[in-house]
Structure 1
Amino acid sequence: MMFRTILSASAFALLIATSVGSAQAQSLSQALAAAYEHAPELQSALLDAKASAENIVQAKSRKLPTIGASIGGTQSITSASGQALLLGSNPVTNSQLNAGLSYNQTIFDNFQTEAQIEQARASAEAAEYQLRNTEQNVLLNVVQAYMAVLSGRELLSLRQANVDFFRAQLQSAQDRLDVGEGTRIDVAQAQARLAQGQAAYQAAVGSLETSQATFQRYVGSRPQSLSTSHNYANLIPRSLEGALGEAEIGHPAILLAKAGIRAAQAGSDAASAAFGPTASINGQVGGSWSQGNRSVNGGTGSLSAQLGFQINIPIYAGGALGSGVRQANLQQIGAEVDAMSAYDQIREAVISAWSGIQSADAQIQAAQAAVSSSNTVLEGVIQERDLGTRTTLDVLNSQADLTSSREALINASSNKIVATFSLLSAMGRLTAQDLALPVEVKTAVPYTQAVEDVWQELRTVAE
């Protein structure tokens, strides 16, 4: 009866610890939202996407005019009639002022600029998809860290209860030895199991500390009381084919690869366009004013203007043009190969995550049955040991079996949640928007739309 009481008390303590943690839980959604705001990887990817958008402006500028203004002046002093420039020698002074405007514009470049603009836009789009892909990786890492802490705490509580049980068994074996009902073998076996239990407990402590440090790195704060509850399983489709279909359509890695193909194609077009002619116009308007202390009319001035055009036709460039085309074509082929690889990797990830969910379900059912069976066996072995038909070793082995079954249940439950989010990630749906996280979605799209206004710089100068 004493051993059944100890067993029930340990299980009750574990249940109470779990219940208290759930009552004051830091939800998975809260952890994901905090990580989304905190993650430096996301901020870096966002900055990269914004920087990539600036390439669009720079590409557009090649077909737009460049307008500049200049102003300058000189002041010269010379001596009169070759005399030394001394005080009182009445030197000759002359002031001159020059000012002008210049205008230059490429009006035709064999559509090279258009290809470069398309390449820049595709690259900016690829950077945005890279941001989405980084977002998924960050959120999946958070889920893994969250579940590692949660399962680590459950394992720690379980192993603490296990140590308490082995300590009670050791005390019971020692008490029976003292009254002549037990043996030293029983005591030694109980001592060995207690030492093993304590070692397993310390290993759980170390593992939990590592998991908590990882959690803090992603989320930005120490983990509080956590909970396994979430409502994201409804995002999972009912069939593997449905999951594969969603992944092929919307996964950012696949969209990134497609944007890469577009960028490479545009790069090939731009390289080919370098063989064609270019035409440009240029104009200048300027004035010059001069005045000296010997001038009769008080000064002179002049205005001038000119307008010209230029056509360039490449004939030979030492092989650079042909090499550029070949390089661009190879990069286009490489982008297509990368796209096929991304497709295969995403398909593999979806199938693996789907299988992980099915496997975890089976493991949970098996572990639940094992826990129920092991509980019954342990109670029966304790009763038989009290009647003298079983040994302390039998009790210790039964307790070890029960602990293993409980640990398997904890791990399987954690694995199912991780596999669920892994499937969402493989489908391309592990994003702040799909999860409805209470955060402002990080995106470079508004920035890209703003910088496409290439006349903004001129208006800023005018203001």
Structure 2
Amino acid sequence: MKKLIKASGLALLLATSAIGAAQAQSITQALTAAYDHAPDLQAALLNAKSSAENIVQAQSRKLPTIGASVSGNQSWSLAAGRFGDESQLQAGISYNHTVFDNFRTEAQIEQARAAAELAEYQIANSEQNVLLSVVQAYMDVLSGRQLVALRQENNNFFQAQAQSAQDRLDVGEGTRIDVAQAQARLAQGDAAYRAALSQLEVSQATFQRLVGVRPQQLDSSHNYARLIPGSIDSALAEAEVGHPAIMISKAAIRAAQAGSDAAEAEFGPTATVTGQAGNRWSQGTANPNGSNVLSASLGFQVTVPIYAGGAIGAGVRKANLEQIKTEVEAMSTYDQVREAVISAWAGIQSADAQIQAANAAVQAGSTVVEGVIQERDLGTRTTLDVLNAQAELTSARETLINASTSKVIATFSLLSAMGRLTAQDLGLPVEIKSAVNYTQTVEDVWQELRTVAE
């Protein structure tokens, strides 16, 4: 029995290491695999690229539209017994250009740029959410395996106690009460073991969904705590400057302001220039030699809105309300980020204290169990005392596992609250997902014309 107690820490370590494949899988490897696998990140990237196309559509309103057309017509007639026919062919080009719209298009372009920037920051925000979920799933599996191993070891202990109580009863040194108490604890321990095993299966399924592969041999060691500043004030300062959620709020305010400017521009004049040039050829019974007519026209139009049934005024009011709404939401976002930083910082401090206390409790509990067993063998303690001491030791070990897990999760939660839980900040060996290059490419609005010319 003494050997069983002394070897408990080693048995737990070996049992935990034996679960999973032989190949080690660090937190960095899991984060890297998840970054390449996560559908949420891919969806955010596609959304950012889609938002970039809105910039092109807005810019197109400042540029002319040019079109070419060709049409033909063949007609026949019968009048006064005479048959006639005529063929017509027309070809031409058209030009339409809004040269002034009270700067509404400029405001819409700014609005589209802000929306594209917002979508780019959403990639980083989704990235943080995905990576934090991976860390939580990683630690759920690791702690789940440790709990399974611990409760299996606990079962072995209770089984040994039940057998010991039965042996003492057989030789007339024990009681049936001792046997019943040991068997009851064994049944409770088996139920706890099965519950831990079921929860582990769920955690492993979540891990596979996020990472794309089944968890292998996990190790919670990492060096990302170096990214955490030395004080909570520094952490708050970093969060307020660079957290993606705050950057999203700033971009949303810009977009709303531009939307308000565009709505107000509806009250102003619009000037449009139009032009057409073409050739018309016709030949028929009435014109056997055919005719060819060249024509061209150039015009302009200036329009000033006077009354639109209240639609313009409603649009301005709505845009102003949307701007106020985004500013209020930005204030809420600042508060939420600040709260997240403080909560994660406190979580780290609390986990450190719990780990220290749990380590002391485990050391003391191991000594107590060993001593109670000796006293039981001498007749000064009962089997129930042994079972209770083991239960307290197991509880302390579970507290240590949970506190160690909480420490890792709180560390990454603080990085996330600061806006630094990104592939770039973590130095993951991946290609960073970004729509910036795509946006720069599609903003070449003359590319469409060059493509047609080629």
Q: TM-score, normalised by structure 1?
A: 0.96
Instruction: Deviation per CA, 1:119-163: give whole Å up to 9, x if none.
Output: 100011011111111110010000000000000000000000000
1:373 and 2:364 correspond: yes
Displacement of 1:21 = 6.5
Instruction: Kindly report which structure 2 residues correspond to 1:300-311, keeping only aligned pairs within 5 A, or say none.
Output: 300-311=291-302
Displacement of 1:293 = 5.6
1:284 and 2:282 correspond: no
Return the letter of the residue paired with 2:198: G
Instruction: Kindly report which structure 2 residues correspond to 1:139-150, keeping only aligned pairs within 5 A, or say none.
Output: 139-150=131-142
Q: Counterpart of 2:344? A: 353
1:274 and 2:274 correspond: no
Return the letter of the residue paired with 2:2: R
Q: Counterpart of 1:318? A: 309
Return the letter of the residue paired with 1:408: T
Q: Counterpart of 1:55? A: 54
Determine which of 208, 212, 220 is the counterpart of 1:228: 220
1:118 and 2:110 correspond: yes
Instruction: Kindly report which structure 2 residues correspond to 1:85-96, keeping only aligned pairs within 5 A, or say none.
Output: 91-96=83-88
Return the letter of the residue paired with 1:233: A
**Secondary structure of 2:426's match?**
coil
1:187 and 2:186 correspond: no
Gaps of 5+ in 1: 84-90
Gaps of 5+ in 2: none
Change (3 A) 1:460 1:361: same
Give the Cα separation in 2 of the matches to 1:108 and 1:43: 39
- Range with bigger deviation, 168-177 or 32-41: 32-41
Give the Cα separation in 1 of the matches to 2:193 and 2:275: 83
Displacement of 1:452 = 1.0
Determine which of 370, 392, 395 is the counterpart of 1:401: 392
CA RMSD of aligned residues (A): 1.4
Q: Counterpart of 1:68? A: 67
Counterpart contact for 1:11–1:161, Cα < 8 Å: no
**Secondary structure of 2:309's match?**
coil
Counterpart contact for 1:215–1:223, Cα < 8 Å: yes
Return the letter of the residue paired with 1:275: F
Counterpart contact for 1:21–1:226, Cα < 8 Å: no
Q: Counterpart of 2:155? A: 163
Q: Counterpart of 1:252? A: 244
Displacement of 1:79 = 4.1
Q: Counterpart of 2:194? A: 202
Q: Counterpart of 1:88? A: none
**Secondary structure of 1:390's match?**
coil
Q: Counterpart of 1:329? A: 320
Give the Cα separation in 1 of the matches to 2:156 and 2:190: 10
Displacement of 1:9 = 4.1
Counterpart contact for 2:278–2:295, Cα < 8 Å: yes
Counterpart contact for 2:17–2:217, Cα < 8 Å: no
Displacement of 1:77 = 2.9
Q: Counterpart of 2:211? A: 219
Q: Counterpart of 2:77? A: 78
- Range with bigger deviation, 188-197 or 24-33: 24-33
Q: Counterpart of 1:17? A: 15
Instruction: Deviation per CA, 1:194-231: give whole Å up to 9, x if none.
Output: 00100000010111011011111111111111111111
Give the Cα separation in 1 of the matches to 2:434 and 2:357: 44
Change (3 A) 1:231 1:293: same
Counterpart contact for 1:39–1:219, Cα < 8 Å: yes
Give the Cα separation in 2 of the matches to 1:11 and 1:260: 54
Q: Counterpart of 1:8? A: 6
Q: Counterpart of 1:338? A: 329
Counterpart contact for 2:16–2:149, Cα < 8 Å: no
Displacement of 1:188 = 0.4
Return the letter of the residue paired with 2:272: S
Give the Cα separation in 1 of the matches to 2:307 and 2:45: 42
Return the letter of the residue paired with 1:220: G
Instruction: Deviation per CA, 1:339-365: give whole Å up to 9, x if none.
Output: 100000000000000000000000000
Return the letter of the residue paired with 1:69: A
Q: Counterpart of 2:35? A: 36
Give the Cα separation in 1 of the matches to 2:69 and 2:99: 24
